[in-house]
Amino acid sequence: MMLLGEFTCASENGRLSLPAPFRPALERGLTLTRGIEKCLLIFPTAEWQALVQRIRAALPLTSRDGRSFSRLLFAAALACFPDRQGRIPLPANLRQYAAVEGEAVLVGLVSHIEVWNPQRWAEVSARVADESAAVAERLSRYGI
């Protein structure tokens, strides 16, 4: 199942309400963690396990950057299941990291979801739109 779309959701009492279109992909479990750009990431369990295996295979313990990246993703990671109302826990450390309080924007990126502070998402989304032609040109070498 692909995770697609942009949704504004409630983030209250330390819980995040998942939009209905995302729930089937996450009902068997998910991992929530820090993202690279001060957002949060949600991976369905199978996608998370595949990512962990790629990181373990590619990043040696002796690499400073590898250790830093692993700390970013794994130290704050939380494996969980949505409750019957489609809510997941949103611990204080992750809320603080992403500045998510009251409302969040969830963005489906095929294999995972980004969770954004609405103001930050507006800024990132505008930048993506402004840079789209230049990014497409740089990525053309990948046959996209």
HSE toward the beta carbon, residue 141, CA cutoff 13 A: 3
Q: Look at residue 101 and tell me if it is in a domain.
A: yes
Residue 44: per-residue pLDDT: 98
The pLDDT value recorded for residue 143 is 87
pTM of the predicted structure, to 2 decimals: 0.94
Residue ranges for the chain with pLDDT beneath 70: none
Distance CA 64, CA 95 (A): 27
Let me know if residue 124 belongs to a domain: no
In a domain, 142, yes or no: no
Q: Is residue 128 included in any domain, yes or no?
A: no
Residue 69 φ/ψ, nearest 5 degrees = -65, -40
Q: Strand order of the sheet with strand 3-12?
A: 78-80, 30-34, 40-44, 113-116, 102-110, 3-12, 15-17, 87-89
Give me the number of domains the chain comprises: 1
CA neighbor of 103 nearest in space, from 83, 118, 85: 118
DSSP character at residue 77 = -
For residue 82, the enclosing domain spans 3-118
Integer Cα distance of 101 and 27 in angstroms: 24
Q: Is residue 66 part of a domain?
A: yes
Residue spans of alpha helices (H) in the chain: 23-26, 45-58, 64-74, 92-98, 118-139
Residue 74 lies in a domain: yes
Domain assignment present for 77: yes
What is the CATH classification number for the domain harbouring 30? 3.40.1550.20
Q: Is residue 64 part of a domain?
A: yes
